[in-house]
Amino acid sequence: MVKKTTLKDVVSFEGVGIHSGEHAKAIIHPAEHNTGIVFKKGNHFVKANIDNVVDTSSSTSIGDGIVYFRTIEHLMASLYLANIDNAIVEFIKGQEVPIMDGSALEIFKLLENNYEIQDFPRSYGYLSNVMRVLNGNSYIMAKSSKTIDELSISFEGEFGSFLKTQNYTYNTKLGKPTIQEDIISSRTFCHFKDVEYIKNLGLAKGGSLDNTLVLTEKGALNQEGFRHIKEPVTHKILDLIGDMYLAGFRFSANIYSYMGGHTLNVKFLKEAIKHIKVIDMEEVIAV
């Protein structure tokens, strides 16, 4: 798809925020071709853009100094994967994106095939340099992709206990439907041994087995178990896709993340933007 899109039909969703524990309700509206993704509360409009990121400690939050919107990454990934370029996300109640079932599945289903094509070319950010960004032991390496509309994301992580090392690759050009389904359905996860520590930090007030995959030494604490065995690593890719959409365009790059989280994702994005050439899809087909 080379044209920009917006939503065809307004959708709404509601539920508890995983960190605040507060109930929130949001409506997603169609928007003009040059809007991008914008969050709204009352008279405040905050663009989902790297410059408006205010916190990455446990989830990704954006704000304007007065209002801020928390845990936006799964919604951003849903909009990206559902091919939506322009939309306004209006909060009627609360300011944290509801965690739903811990994955992007429920919101994605509202957006899937619910787009309207706008008569403007879609922009891709083509990465022209090889780069490496570090944050402690974690790092992201990136290089150019072969074609303008290709994004490849590989993630490797150490998930402890029985899972050990997991890796997974998402590629827009080699996309078997199952790969996208694995990523969209993968839930937020944590280790059982960290639950008390996380709660003591005042985080995950809305966290429960209904919205979090809890890993033990032998498997999952959740009665239904894993949705698929690579659920932790595919969830990390979901988070990265959501964070990368804060660039305001679709990335064209080949990316490898080792143990990256929101802080590294945003650090990478800020650096990558310096090496990006934004290209309209209608102008250039391949490089």
Positions that interact with Zn ion (CB under 5 A): 188, 239
User: Is 235 noted as a catalytic residue in this protein?
Assistant: no
Q: How far is the CB of 19 from Zn ion (least distance, A)?
A: 11
In whole angstroms, how close is the CB of 235 to Zn ion at the nearest point? 6
CA 69 to chain centre: 14
Could you tell me if 8 and 114 are in contact, meaning their C-beta atoms sit under 8 angstroms apart?
A: yes
Judged by CB, which is closer to Zn ion: 188, or 265?
Answer: 188
CB of 239 to Zn ion, least distance (A): 4
Measured between alpha carbons, how far is 60 from 74 in angstroms, rounded to an integer? 10
| Residue 207, C-beta contacts closer than 8 angstroms, at least 6 positions apart | 18, 99, 188, 190, 198
| Residue 120 or 258 having the CB closest to Zn ion | 258
Q: Which residues of 49-75 are buried (b: 16+ CB within 10 A; e: fewer)?
A: ebebbebbebbbbbbeeebbbbbbbbb
Query: What is the distance between the alpha carbons of residues 116 and 274, in angstroms, rounded to a whole number?
Result: 31
Q: Which of the following is catalytic: 33, 228, 262, 275?
A: 262
User: Which residue lies nearer to Zn ion by CB, 59 or 86?
Assistant: 59
The least CB distance from residue 108 to Zn ion, in Å, is: 13
Residue 114 vs 188, nearer CB to Zn ion: 188
Q: Quickly tell me which residue has 């400690």 as its tokens.
A: 57
Q: Which is nearer to Zn ion, 182 or 239 (CB)?
A: 239
Q: Is the CB of 152 or the CB of 188 nearer to Zn ion?
A: 188
Least distance in angstroms from the C-beta of 16 to Zn ion: 15
Q: Both tokens of residue 15?
A: 């539920």
Q: Enter the tokens of residue 188.
A: 């937020």
95/224 Cα distance (integer angstroms): 30
Report the nearest approach of Zn ion to the CB of residue 191 (Å).
15
Q: Are the beta carbons of 61 and 71 closer than 8 angstroms? A: yes
The closest residue (CB) to Zn ion is: 239
Mind telling me the catalytic residues? 262
